[in-house]
């Protein structure tokens, strides 16, 4: 499974993000994209989210590119910073809230320790956020840029929370990662 897309959270988040996934599939017609429903994310219930995400992420292979949106991105970061030995090396996060224990969101079950970055160093992480995001302020991405030095943070204009413009930037990112993985596999 080359791409695993994790949706955002809240009522009907899976259905809401399905349009985003459809547009990504159109931009990457030859790349299989798995899009599982994570019931815990729709309920904003951490224990169920953790159980489902842990199982889903454990089933990936090292060449899987995980793309996660909104609170789904923060949840993936929490899982990856708390569980050892997951095969994931490539992560793309779209419009994630900064949910560490020093954030403006307050503490809840989705909160992770502010030193989470230490456990994520082996990952290739790119984060995208739009300046005009009406749900998650762009300042959250700027905090990630400071706290997560192993990540590349790219700020876009005019995409909103659902990345309503073309997804060429994301398709280019995924294709570059797939090419890099193919070169590495060829050398082995």
The answer on pLDDT for 67 being more than 90 is yes
Q: Please determine, for residue 1, whether its predicted confidence score (pLDDT) is greater than 70.
A: no
Give the domains, in start order, of the chain with CATH numbers.
3-182 (3.40.50.1820)
User: Confidence band (pLDDT; 50, 70, 90) for 186?
Assistant: low
pLDDT of residue 185: 54
Average pLDDT over residues 148-164: 95
> What is the predicted pLDDT for the residue at 188?
46
Pairing assessment for the beta strands 65-69 and 90-94 based on DSSP bridges: parallel
pLDDT at residue 147 tops 50: yes
| Cα–Cα distance, 78 to 68 (Å, whole number) | 12
Which among 51, 40, 46, 52 has a CA at the least distance from the CA of 4?
A: 52
Beta-carbon neighbour count of residue 124 at 10 Å?
15
Calculate mean pLDDT across residues 51-66.
Answer: 94
**150-167 average pLDDT score:** 96
**Which range, of 80-84, 88-92, 154-158, averages the lowest pLDDT?**
80-84
Per-chain mean pLDDT for the chain: 92
Q: How confident is the model over 54-81, as a mean pLDDT?
A: 95
- Of the pLDDT bands very low, low, confident and very high (cuts 50, 70, 90), residue 94 is very high
With bands split at pLDDT 50, 70 and 90, how would you rate the model's confidence at 21? very high
| For range 4-14, the mean pLDDT | 96
Tokens 């996934």 belong to which residue? Answer: 21
Q: Is the pLDDT of residue 174 over 90?
A: yes
Q: What is the dihedral of CA 162, 166, 169, 170, to 10 degrees?
A: 50
Percentage above 70 pLDDT, the chain: 97
């Amino acid at each position: 499974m080359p791409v695993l897309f994790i949706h955002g959270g809240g009522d009907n988040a899976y259905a809401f993000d399905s349009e985003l996934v459809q547009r990504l599939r159109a931009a990457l017609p030859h790349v299989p994209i798995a899009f599982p429903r994570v019931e815990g994310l729709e309920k904003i219930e951490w224990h169920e989210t953790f159980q489902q995400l842990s199982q889903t992420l454990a089933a990936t292979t090292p060449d899987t590119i995980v793309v996660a949106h909104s609170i789904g991105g923060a949840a993936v970061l929490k899982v990856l910073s708390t569980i050892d030995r997951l095969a994931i090396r490539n992560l793309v996060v779209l419009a994630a809230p900064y949910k560490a224990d020093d954030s403006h969101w307050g503490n809840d079950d989705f909160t992770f320790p502010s030193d989470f970055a230490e456990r994520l160093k082996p990952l290739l992480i790119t984060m995208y956020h739009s300046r005009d995001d009406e749900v998650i302020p762009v300042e959250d991405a700027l905090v990630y840029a400071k706290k997560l030095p192993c990540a590349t943070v790219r700020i876009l204009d005019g995409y909103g929370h659902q990345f309503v413009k073309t997804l060429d930037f994301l398709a280019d990112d995924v294709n570059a990662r797939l090419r890099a993985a193919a070169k590495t596999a060829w050398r082995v």
